[in-house]
Amino acid sequence: MPQPLTVFDSHHPPSDALIADCVHCGFCLPTCPTYALWGEEMDSPRGRIYLMKLGLEGGAGATMSDEYAGHFDKCLGCMACLTACPSGVQYDKLIEATRAQVERHYRRPLSDRLFRTVLFTLFPYPRRLRAASLPLWIYQHSGLQRLARRSGLINLLPPRLRSMEALTPRVTMDAFRAKMPQLIPAQGERRGRVGLLLGCVQQVFFRHVNDASARVLSAEGFDVVIPPGQDCCGALPVHAGREREAQDFARRTIDVFERAEVDTVVINAAGCGSTMKEYGHLLRDDPVYATRAAAFSGKCRDISEILAGVTPRAPRHPLPLRVAYHDACHLQHAQRIKLQPRQVLATVPGLEVVEVPEAAICCGSAGIYNLVEPEPAQELGERKARHIASTNPQAVVSSNPGCLLQIRAAMEKLGTPLPTYHMIELLDASIRNTPLPR
């Protein structure tokens, strides 16, 4: 007889069978950032899996309380436990299912609900984000920001808003520039036809990364199709347990790229890539999209996978720079991509890539984690910044915009500010023989 569900409803609770895969060995503990911070078993992967089991089976302590939900909210979803686990426990599936249950059954405090509503009404929608960029541009460029920071007024804000202020990228005119062309033809003999995901936050605040991606792919022989009508891919809501929203965004993304008839969908943000490669799972119950979603996921590649998979064609010019390479968690753990970005960077003459100690541990960015959980995120950011500074680099490189923002803010706070670049910006600068922006 199945046990009654006491905490979770019957819509895809965390799987009993996946929970049973955990043999409690504890090998995952040293790579878990929250366990590293607090040494608390219930804030480790093993402890969280135990809490999921408790939620399934019922019994003492199995209620959707602040404390119960808090242990899951504190999880960064960094998936370091996924790569560390020798038993192959699929923590990604477990936490995704659990977050959706928490989202449905946990009543958050009013301020938390309001804050999350603002984030999810704004971030996944590029048009709204672009509109919000104008007051932000005025704040940053009029001297108001400098005044607020120097006078200490900023410290009067609640921690979440303070964190948001510190992490917001500098808005440039790029945010308001015309849309990218729908097709950027391949240079030389054509190697393939790829579709470029623009991302929601990325297309407003990191337009230069998308421009660089399109230029490099074209220079390396790919027709680059940029389908219009792209919104969020669903990564932001899926990581917050907002399952329906995530599914709607996934369906829309599939529609948009199916119309573009591309061989491959190229992604330059680690969090988006890891979500899109799992659309098959996200839409598994949808009779119209399940098969299409699985096929779509099979076409998704991180930009480093595409570039490392072909012989470099465009000549590279020297870029004499010592850079610390930061592995984004959703690339190294969720997608298990570590080698390819290094292979791509190795094609740039003069570029010295140094490894960062404790590379498996998250920088604290983790989607919206650094906004909703600012204290632990800041601690992790400072820990990462110290490790980066110890390698004495001239710049920091990563493949995820969120990590770049988090690291930039942490390096500034540490008093060792450094320029931060997406991997593709370095390759683009080398191919075009242009200086890197500061």
251 binding ligand SF4? (CB under 6 A)? no
328 binding ligand SF4? (CB under 6 A)? no
Q: Are the C-beta atoms of 276 and 301 separated by less than 8 Å?
A: no
Using only C-alpha atoms, the chain has a radius of gyration, in whole angstroms, of 21
Selected range binding ligand SF4 among 32-40, 117-125, 177-185, 385-393, rule: CB under 6 A: 32-40
State the nearest-atom distance from the C-beta of 207 to ligand SF4, in Å.
Answer: 30
State the nearest-atom distance from the C-beta of 39 to ligand SF4, in Å.
Answer: 13
Q: Which one among 23, 134, 138, 153 touches ligand SF4, defined by CB under 6 A?
A: 23
Residue with tokens 């849309």: 179
Residue among 32 and 319 whose Cβ is closer to ligand SF4: 32
241 binding ligand SF4? (CB under 6 A)? no
Q: Are the C-beta atoms of 170 and 132 separated by less than 8 Å?
A: no
Beta bridge partners of 302: 267
Strand (E) positions, 68-191?
Answer: 183-184
C-alpha distances (whole Å) from 279 to each of 36, 163, 297 are 31, 31, 6
Output the CA torsion sign for 316, 322, 326, 332: positive
87 binding ligand SF4? (CB under 6 A)? yes
Could you give the CA distance from residue 163 to residue 167 in angstroms, rounded to a whole number?
Answer: 6
Residue among 126 and 367 whose Cβ is closer to ligand SF4: 367
Residue among 77 and 401 whose Cβ is closer to ligand SF4: 77
Judged on CB neighbours under 10 Å (0-12, 13-18, 19+), 178 is exposed
Residue among 84 and 429 whose Cβ is closer to ligand SF4: 84
Selected range binding ligand SF4 among 45-53, 121-129, 293-301, 319-327, rule: CB under 6 A: 45-53
97 binding ligand SF4? (CB under 6 A)? no
State the nearest-atom distance from the C-beta of 324 to ligand SF4, in Å.
Answer: 22
Q: Which one among 7, 18, 19, 22 touches ligand SF4, defined by CB under 6 A?
A: 22
Could you give the CA distance from residue 419 to residue 438 in angstroms, rounded to a whole number?
Answer: 6
Could you give the CA distance from residue 30 to residue 67 in angstroms, rounded to a whole number?
Answer: 23
Residue among 23 and 144 whose Cβ is closer to ligand SF4: 23
Residue among 303 and 362 whose Cβ is closer to ligand SF4: 362
Could you give the CA distance from residue 109 to residue 270 in angstroms, rounded to a whole number?
Answer: 31
Q: Which one among 9, 11, 25, 159 touches ligand SF4, defined by CB under 6 A?
A: 25
Selected range binding ligand SF4 among 18-26, 126-134, 146-154, 385-393, rule: CB under 6 A: 18-26
Contacts of residue 16, Cβ cutoff 8 Å, sequence gap at least 6: 56
Question: Would you give the DSSP letter of residue 41?
Answer: G
Residue among 84 and 405 whose Cβ is closer to ligand SF4: 84
Query: Is residue 188 within a helix (H) or strand (E), and if so which, with residue range?
Result: none
Question: Would you give the DSSP letter of residue 435?
Answer: P
Q: Which one among 20, 26, 134, 182 touches ligand SF4, defined by CB under 6 A?
A: 26
Output the CA torsion sign for 271, 324, 384, 155: negative
Could you give the CA distance from residue 126 to residue 130 in angstroms, rounded to a whole number?
Answer: 6
Q: Which one among 7, 8, 71, 91 touches ligand SF4, defined by CB under 6 A?
A: 91
Selected range binding ligand SF4 among 86-94, 141-149, 198-206, 293-301, rule: CB under 6 A: 86-94
Q: Which one among 2, 4, 10, 24 touches ligand SF4, defined by CB under 6 A?
A: 24
Residues between 55 and 84 with contacts to ligand SF4, criterion CB under 6 A: 75-81, 84
Question: Would you give the DSSP letter of residue 263?
Answer: S
348 binding ligand SF4? (CB under 6 A)? no
Among 161, 55, 74, smallest CA distance to 153 is for 161
94 binding ligand SF4? (CB under 6 A)? no
State the nearest-atom distance from the C-beta of 46 to ligand SF4, in Å.
Answer: 4
State the nearest-atom distance from the C-beta of 74 to ligand SF4, in Å.
Answer: 8
| H helical segments located in 74-194 | 80-84, 91-105, 110-122, 126-141, 144-151, 159-167
How many residues make contact with ligand SF4 (CB under 6 A)? 26
State the nearest-atom distance from the C-beta of 73 to ligand SF4, in Å.
Answer: 11
Query: Is residue 429 within a helix (H) or strand (E), and if so which, with residue range?
Result: helix 423-432
State the nearest-atom distance from the C-beta of 92 to ligand SF4, in Å.
Answer: 8
Question: Would you give the DSSP letter of residue 252?
Answer: H
Residues between 177 and 206 with contacts to ligand SF4, criterion CB under 6 A: none
Q: Are the C-beta atoms of 341 and 423 separated by less than 8 Å?
A: yes
Tell me which residues touch ligand SF4 (CB under 6 A). Answer: 22-28, 31-34, 45-46, 48, 75-81, 84-85, 87, 89, 91
